């Protein structure tokens, strides 16, 4: 047998091995080594190994080395990977309904996102289960801003820019469609090179993500209107999870929930610090637009969400979420 055939046979045997023989949960993420994400996941892995007497731990593939999130989804489906930290883009590949949490100009604050995510947890987790994965924990990614080489202070400036859009992301595409902006679709792993060559001159993302990926080094301006409150999740293959012994399943879920709550606390604090860090490194923050402009963004968000009905989520789910948001805001106004 040739070397290549031996390697192929070994890989096939590894993938076919029963869960009892598996000791590593193969985990992929775009987060780079040394980031808060990876520090928390490493702590989770260490605690998991201790709690299971070394029978279960994570094996990490950080920094996008397993490819874009769509590549990672494919690898989970064939068993090459078991688990991943996803943004909404990857999550939506398996459970399109969850993309409602990333809808443009839907939430006015992180607190609103958390309330809605909690209220509709059963709906979203059922969608993920249908997609073949289980939720180990939600992850807060932060407010999504636009970062650019040239100043942006209005929608018209976006239309003059070479805006990046994550290739195949229906949420971002709907937002730009509502803005009448024609963005440049690229994989997230191609963004840095495209900023260097001038193919694009503006990107979007949470401050911490833009800083961690070093995109900020090619940019000069920040537009302060959040496009969305980005939600991510750590998702595990249902097939892999079901093949684990019951005690390991319980331990994995309990430890993941605890560590991912801690990750969210750290991420939220670090996103606030990252915005200040970016300003200290020379990125200029544009002035906040007035109430009329903000009202216009909410109108555009409504149009974008309606355009996504039947493509990602149902009119029924959208209506229920918007109704609950209106109630939350009414209660907040009443209290104040």
- The model carries a pTM of 0.85
Does residue 248 form part of some domain?
yes
**Total count of domains within the chain:** 1
Does residue 60 form part of some domain?
yes
Does residue 5 form part of some domain?
no
Does residue 285 form part of some domain?
yes
pLDDT tens readout for residues 125-166: 999 999 999 999 999 999 999 999 999 999 999 999 999 999
Instruction: Inform me whether the pLDDT recorded for 41 exceeds 50.
Output: yes
Q: What is the pLDDT of residue 22?
A: 54
Parent domain of 292: 22-335
Does residue 12 form part of some domain?
no
CATH number reported for the structural domain that contains residue 228 in this entry: 3.40.190.170
Does residue 11 form part of some domain?
no
pLDDT tens readout for residues 188-240: 989 999 999 999 999 999 999 999 899 999 999 999 999 999 999 999 999 99
Q: What is the pLDDT of residue 20?
A: 45
Write out the DSSP string of 59-113: EEE-TTTT-SHHHHHHHHHTTS--EEEE-HHHHHHH-GGGGGGG-TT--SSHHHH
Q: In the structure, what pLDDT confidence band is assigned to residue 333 with cuts at 50, 70 and 90?
A: confident
Does residue 70 form part of some domain?
yes
pLDDT tens readout for residues 5-27: 544 444 444 444 444 445 899 99
Q: Identify whether the C-beta of residue 226 lies closer than 8 Å to the C-beta of residue 145.
A: yes
Q: What is the pLDDT of residue 4?
A: 46
Q: What is the pLDDT of residue 19?
A: 43
Both structure tokens of 240: 């892999």
Does residue 6 form part of some domain?
no
The SS3 assignment for 11 reads helix
Q: What is the pLDDT of residue 334?
A: 73
């Amino acid at each position: 047998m040739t070397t290549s055939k031996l390697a192929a046979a070994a890989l096939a045997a590894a993938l076919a091995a029963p869960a009892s023989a598996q000791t590593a949960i193969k985990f992929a993420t775009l987060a780079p080594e040394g980031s808060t994400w990876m520090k928390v996941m490493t702590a989770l892995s260490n605690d998991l190994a201790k709690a299971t007497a070394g029978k279960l731990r994570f094996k990490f593939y950080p920094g996008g080395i397993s490819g874009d999130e769509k590549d990672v989804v494919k690898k989970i489906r064939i068993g090459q990977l078991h688990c991943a930290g996803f943004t909404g883009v990857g999550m939506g590949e398996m459970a399109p309904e969850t993309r409602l949490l990333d809808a443009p100009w839907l939430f006015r604050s992180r607190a609103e996102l958390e309330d809605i995510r909690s209220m509709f947890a059963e709906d979203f987790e059922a969608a993920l289960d249908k997609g073949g994965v289980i939720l180990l924990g939600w992850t807060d990614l932060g407010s999504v801003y636009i970062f650019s080489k040239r100043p942006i202070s209005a929608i018209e400036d976006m239309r003059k820019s070479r805006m990046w859009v994550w290739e195949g992301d229906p949420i971002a595409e709907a937002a730009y469609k509502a803005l009448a902006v024609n963005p440049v679709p690229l994989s997230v792993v191609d963004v840095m090179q495209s900023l260097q060559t001038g193919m694009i001159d503006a990107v979007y993302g949470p401050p911490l993500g833009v800083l961690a990926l070093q995109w900020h080094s090619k940019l000069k301006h920040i537009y302060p209107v959040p496009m969305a409150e980005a939600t991510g999740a750590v998702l595990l293959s249902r097939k892999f999870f079901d093949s684990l012994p019951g005690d390991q399943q319980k331990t994995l879920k309990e430890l993941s929930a605890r560590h991912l709550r801690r990750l969210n606390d750290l991420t939220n604090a670090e996103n606030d610090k990252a915005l200040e860090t970016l300003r200290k490194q020379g990125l200029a923050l544009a002035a906040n637009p007035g109430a009329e402009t903000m009202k216009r963004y909410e109108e555009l968000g409504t149009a974008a969400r309606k355009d996504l009905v039947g493509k990602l989520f149902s009119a029924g789910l959208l209506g229920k979420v918007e109704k609950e948001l209106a109630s939350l805001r009414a209660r907040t106004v009443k209290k104040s």
